[in-house]
Amino acid sequence: MQDEDRKLLDRWILTFLEPPPVVDPELMRRLLAEHDARTEPAMTDKTFKPGDTVRWDHSQGSSKGEVVRKLTRPTKIKGHKVAASPSEPEYLVESDKTGARAAHKPDALRKA
């Protein structure tokens, strides 16, 4: 088995937790690509810019607010540590109701 095929097989096993019955590298590539497309959210769906109105859920229901800026490095907001990075950004959002600012992960926000 070639090194590239072995890496593909290892990734398959990590994804699906068992080896395939037949090792067909082309089929494995196609199925893994389909799996990735289903499980990984498209960044375009969760990319916001300052001024965007967004909504998020919390224990008392949901809130609406405005994106202030994108956070791409670790920072603190009101004593809370925000572990933002370029590969995993967060968004500073200001609540319409209270004016409070908080950092939210892109998956927690949706356009309002």
Rounded to two decimals, the pTM is 0.60
| Same domain, residue pair 64 and 103 | yes
**Number of compact structural domains in the chain:** 2
Let me know whether 52 and 72 are in one domain: yes
Domain of residue 14: give its range: 3-40
- In this prediction, residue 43 carries a pLDDT of 47
Tell me the per-residue pLDDT of 34-88, one tens digit each, with 9 for 90 and over.
877 776 554 445 789 999 999 999 888 899 999 999 999 999 988 889 999 988 9
CB-based contact 103:74 (threshold 8 Å): no
> Rounded to an integer, what distance in angstroms lies between the CA atom of residue 48 and that of residue 68?
10
Q: What is the tens place of the pLDDT at every residue in 83-97? A: 999 889 999 999 999
Residues 32, 10 share a domain: yes
